[in-house]
Amino acid sequence: MVLSNNIGAVLTFAFVALFVCMPVSVQMIHLEKLSTVYLPHTYVNGVGQYMYDKDAAVMSTYDEHDSTVYAIGHEYLHVIDISNVTHPAIESKHQFFYAKLRAIEFCDDYLFIAMTGDKNTGRVEVYQIQHAPTEMLVLVHNITVGVKPEMIQATSNCRTVVVAMEGSPYNNGSDFVDPEGAVGIIRFTEAAGIGGSYQYTKLDFKKFDNIWQELVSSGVRFIYRENNNSFSNDVEPEYITFNKDESVAYIALQENNAIAEVDMATLEITDIHPLGYKNWTNSKLDVSDRDNMVNIRQWPVMGMYQPDAIKFITIGDKSYLLTANEGRAKDYSDIVGSGGFNEESRVADLTIDGKNAYLYFFGGFEKKVVSIIWRLMVSNLEGKHGDAYDDLYTFGGRSISLYDVSTFNQVYDSGSEIEEKIAQQYSGLFNANGKSQTSVVSESKDSRSDAKGPEVESLAVVQDGNTTVIFVGIERPGLIAVYSIPGDVSTIRFESLWSGITRTNDTFGNLYDQRLISDIGPDDLR
């Protein structure tokens, strides 16, 4: 397994171990680290410069036949030889002076790299990997795709590549611009292959503009409506996964709390599925960063799942969508022309609607307990009627979920298990931030409880016989949870938790400089 992160500029290589306890029928699947390679964020006179929190390893892809990992971060692509996985070595580097690298995919001796330039204008560059007489990358295509490509996914035959484009807003002088979110389809001809001709099709969401009220009523979010913004401008495609025969691509619309469905034969976005809401009275969460403690309990609020990574999985004869429910809010307050829009507010800054609603929220709690939830960040859009709120909605589910793709009904959610397991096994890392190199790890504990908690972000899935093993990347500050499904979905179980943070009594930056830390903010698992 390769773990990429956007904080400490490291890649960690791990293997899965099966630990057999007593009795023999009880088994625990856990990770053990094989090695870590630290990547420079830049070079000065050919010498690599290393620093914490420089985005040097955001995403990676793997050529299993050549035992090579390709990792991108900021403006560099690093080629890493892992033929000896216990001693990985940087083989070469490639600098992209003109762009920020955002996504990468390897397929059939080609690299597909998504990147953005000025105003997030995006393109996909396709490189052929030539191995002899020396390894080199040869540019064969430069394809303009759309604004801010966030992910690339290739079909198994490498002849079709899907691109998710967030279309994130920016300002053009004093004008606020929110480009359309879109899905790009690159198709290469079967005869000529990837090096030959291609056809590019850009799919937008305009056909849903006339039915946005129906979508919102079903649970799909339409967030930024100012400046005459349309629904098709508001959607932000984030992640891609194919069904088993690759006839359908599922696209995560993270902020919109929904999944779009693309018919790969007709090249049409056919549907948008809402993901529903999590009732935190049936689960538990820690809501405050100011109580100096782990305080996981039930609260009468709702949660928006808002997954980042999604994976299509088949268990028996049933198909499911697995989601990593990170959560994300839209904050345009620093973009000129947005009117200072920010959909996040603390509960303390909202007006609760009337005595009855207040009693519903807090009637059974002591006054000192009520003060804890004032810190929680919630949506100032959902739950509002008039000038006050009779429902509160948090960002992210702090969990993984399974949805039956035939109905899009949720059949499983891990509830509060991830937060609880971190509190039990890595209490010093509980809802810690990890974004500042000067922060002492233990002092950062609980600092993200008021926001999205652990931020469950990335996924990898493997099949071991009849058992499905799920690896879950947890961003804050950096852990990997392991789940397994040995039978049908009713048998899903937590296996183990792993972190590459070796001490909590020093700063993140010092630990990085001493090479005592890895896997912070795992954006990507392979």
Of the listed ranges 21-30, 314-323, 470-479, the one predicted with least confidence: 21-30
What is the per-residue pLDDT across 268-294, written as a single tens digit (0 to 9) for each? 999 999 999 999 999 999 999 999 899
> What is the pLDDT, as a whole number, of residue 233?
98
CATH code where residue 172 lies: 2.130.10.10
Quick one: tokens of 406? 């035939």
* Residue 296 banded pLDDT, cuts 50, 70, 90: very high
Measured distance CA(392)–CA(115) in Å, rounded: 37
pLDDT of residue 365: 61
**pLDDT surpasses 60 at 26:** no
What's the confidence (pLDDT) of residue 322? 99
Listed residue (149, 147, 127, 148) closest to 138, CA to CA: 127
pLDDT of amino acid 24: 37
Report if residue 174 sits inside a domain: yes
Bridge partners for 321 per DSSP? 312, 403
Q: What pLDDT digit, counting tens, does each position of 92-137 carry?
A: 999 999 899 999 999 999 999 999 998 778 999 999 999 877 778 9
The string of pLDDT tens digits covering residues 36-57 is: 999 999 999 999 999 998 989 9
Better-predicted residue by pLDDT, 305 or 390: 305
Q: Per the structure, how many domains does the chain have?
A: 1
Q: In this model, does residue 472 exceed pLDDT 90?
A: yes
267 within domain boundaries: yes
Say if 428 falls within a structural domain: no
> What pLDDT does residue 19 have?
44
For residue 359, the model assigns a pLDDT of: 52
What span, in angstroms and rounded, lies between the C-alpha atoms of 173 and 187? 36
Q: Which two tokens stand for residue 57?
A: 């390893």
Could you give the percent of the chain with pLDDT greater than 90?
80
Indicate whether 142 belongs to any domain: yes
Q: Is residue 155 part of a domain?
A: yes
pLDDT tier for residue 250 given thresholds of 50, 70 and 90: very high
Pick from 353, 399, 352: which is nearest to 373 by CA? 352
Q: Tell me what pLDDT residue 358 has.
A: 56
Per the confidence metrics, is the pTM higher than 0.85?
Answer: yes
- Give me the pLDDT at residue 372, please: 85
426 has a pLDDT exceeding 70: yes
Q: Are 103 and 113 in contact (CB under 8 A)?
A: yes
Residue 107 domain-assigned (yes or no): no
Residues shown for the chain? 526
Which DSSP state fits 355?
H
Q: Which domain holds residue 158?
A: 116-274
What integer pLDDT is reported at residue 364 of this predicted model?
62
Categorize the per-residue pLDDT at 21 as very low, low, confident or very high, splitting at 50, 70 and 90: very low
Q: What's the rounded Cα separation, in Å, for the pair 483 and 390?
A: 36
pLDDT band at 485 (very low <50, low <70, confident <90, very high): very high
So what's the pLDDT on residue 414? Answer: 99
Judge whether 354 lies within some domain. Answer: no
pLDDT at position 27, please?
65
Residue 176 maps to a domain: yes
What confidence score (pLDDT) does residue 357 get? 56
> How high is the pLDDT of residue 292?
85
Cβ contact 501:441 at 8 Å: yes
pLDDT the model gives residue 131: 81
On the question of pLDDT at 385 being above 90, the answer is no
Which tokens in the block code for residue 205? 């969401």
What pLDDT does residue 440 have?
A: 96
Q: Give me the mean pLDDT over the 494-504 stretch.
A: 95
What is the model's pLDDT at position 367? 59
pLDDT at 20 over 60: no
Q: Determine the pLDDT at residue 363.
A: 64
Q: 157: burial class by Cβ within 10 Å (0-12, 13-18, 19+)?
A: exposed
Strand order in the sheet with 456-464: 456-464, 467-474, 479-485, 493-498
State the DSSP H helix or E strand holding residue 373, giving kind and residue range, or none if neither.
helix 367-373
Average pLDDT score, the chain: 92
Query: Six-digit token pair at 349?
Result: 């800054």
Local confidence band at 148 (pLDDT 50, 70, 90 cut-offs): very high
